[in-house]
Amino acid sequence: MNTATITNPIMWADVPDVDVIRVGPFFYMVSTSMHSMPGCPIMKSVNLKDWEIVNYVYDTFEDNDAHRLLDGKGIYGKGSWAASLKYKDGLFYVCFSSNDMDQFYIYRTDDIEQGIWERSVIPGLHHDPALLLDDDGRNYVIYGNGDIRIKELTGDLTAVEPGGADQLLLEGERTDMGLRIEGCHAYKLNGYYYLFFIEWPTTGNKRRRQVCYRSRELLGSYELKIILDDDLGYHNNGVAQGGIVDTPDNDWYAVLFQDHDAVGRIPCVLPVRWVEDWPVIGDDGTAPQRFETRLPAAEAKPIVISDEFDYETNKLALNWQWNHNPDNTLWSVTERPGYLRLRTGKPADSILTARNTLTQRTEGPTCRAETVVEISGMQPGDRAGMAALQNQFGTVGIAAGEHGQFTVDMCVNGGDGREEPVESVSFTGERIYLRIDFNFEDSLDEAAFFYSEDGTAWTPIGRTLHMKYTLDHFMGYRIGLFHYATRQAGGYADFGYFHYSRQQ
């Protein structure tokens, strides 16, 4: 049997706060999705290396002005954070907290790939939660930053258990810490309770590292060991935050992530061995860039795809996510077969406040996105095109003026969220071809913008965008297709395709 060779990172794309479980021969992973909808992507693999998106936990999880981008601010950098994934007795559970809602959500299904998820909501923020489904039939959530708390949940995980544990569990180191312990992953193995955390010291290597607490008793006391302090040779960015998973052959691996600047936070897989009932990650604390496994080889599935928008029903491929909740009355891939039609709704003053921007991730080391927009349905004041989307965005698109006049614009965030034109060129055609080239090699983090009248001869426009990962969005750069009105609703733009390629 051919076996998989793992090379880190396993995906050079924004898949942060990963949590992985195994059920039979299959591994499942959930990750943070914040303001992208649908959210909490479920990915599947047979070898921890090749993953495909198979489901989402929810299409949307709240329906208010902030989630609909109607409050002028949205939920950038908020939404669902650091989900925990568990399986027990035929049921899959996902939980997360929402910073904007100050609530704790628990979802459950008996079919992780095709099923509908039922949810329960518990008041209060439970930061970076970890579910622990103990073998005595009792259930807990362990959560917090620095001061870690534990709370007992009911047997069906729908509410807090009356009279159950609800207390401080342990306190992380306070001295010389820029980030105290958080991002809990909890397990009961070998007669121990193991709690995995990330922390970020301000002394020594001054980078994020992975630590483990263990105890024979759930409520303590716990002993501590640093189990990984390594950056894979990348700019002193520590590989940390995540958990461990076993294989059918009883091998163990850690699935963690690493900051890679503008492209986002990218997942890595590292071997684990057990020494005196402590998990030891990598080669005595050094993370290997490449190693062999006994897991089966498999076909790589793309996390970002090209799309001809050739759909029989109004349901997009799982690779697509909307920026915030979409208005489902204003988009279609069936109204004009072979096209994504985006109609305008409530006017917006920027792509950051415009609804129905359809996005996919970017990938390193370099990638390219191209689209074509037919513009006959646009109204004066409408803007349509493609974006390199983060707070410090760049857009290339078409702007509709008076009396059927159009311009091709390359814009950036002018400092107040509005699109500030860097270059504007008159345009008289019926369709415009647009392209963005991304370069994340060694954190160069540049995007270049182009337009074409025929899709063959490309003209650069504007300037190079120096992309920057900012914590107000807390997400790697995404490719976005957009159309919004600045004056009045009613226009439409038709996107004929989305073509994507990357350097392997």
Q: What angle do CA 90, 92, 98 make, to 5 degrees?
A: 160
Catalytic residue among 14, 17, 382, 409: 17
Cα–Cα distance measured from residue 121 to residue 101, given in angstroms and rounded to the nearest whole number: 11
Q: Tell me the β-bridge partners of 69.
A: none
Catalytic residue among 19, 128, 182, 261: 182
Distance of CA 414 to the CA centre of its chain: 26
Specify whether 182 is catalytic: yes
Q: Cα dist. 235→82, 285, 287 in Å?
A: 24, 18, 14
Cα–Cα distance measured from residue 489 to residue 345, given in angstroms and rounded to the nearest whole number: 5
DSSP annotation of 436: E
Query: Among positive and negative, which fits the CA dihedral 343, 346, 347, 353?
Result: negative
Backbone angles phi, psi at 397, to 5 degrees: -170, -170
Question: Residues near 159 by Cβ (< 8 Å), separated by ≥ 6?
Answer: 120, 122, 153
Quick one: CA torsion of 22, 28, 29, 35, rounded to 10 degrees?
-150
Distance of CA 497 to the CA centre of its chain: 24
Distance of CA 90 to the CA centre of its chain: 27
Cα–Cα distance measured from residue 189 to residue 214, given in angstroms and rounded to the nearest whole number: 10
SS (H, E, C) 136-152: CCCEEEEEEECEEEEEE
Cα–Cα distance measured from residue 256 to residue 267, given in angstroms and rounded to the nearest whole number: 6
Q: Cα dist. 304→60, 72, 215, 373, 479 in Å?
A: 21, 29, 42, 20, 10
SS (H, E, C) 326-365: CCCCCEECCCCCCCEEEECCCCCCCHHHCCCCEEEECECC
Q: Tell me the β-bridge partners of 101.
A: none
Q: Give pairs for 159-165: CB < 8 Å, separation 24+.
A: 159/120, 159/122, 160/122, 164/138, 165/140, 165/219
Cite the active site residues: 17, 182
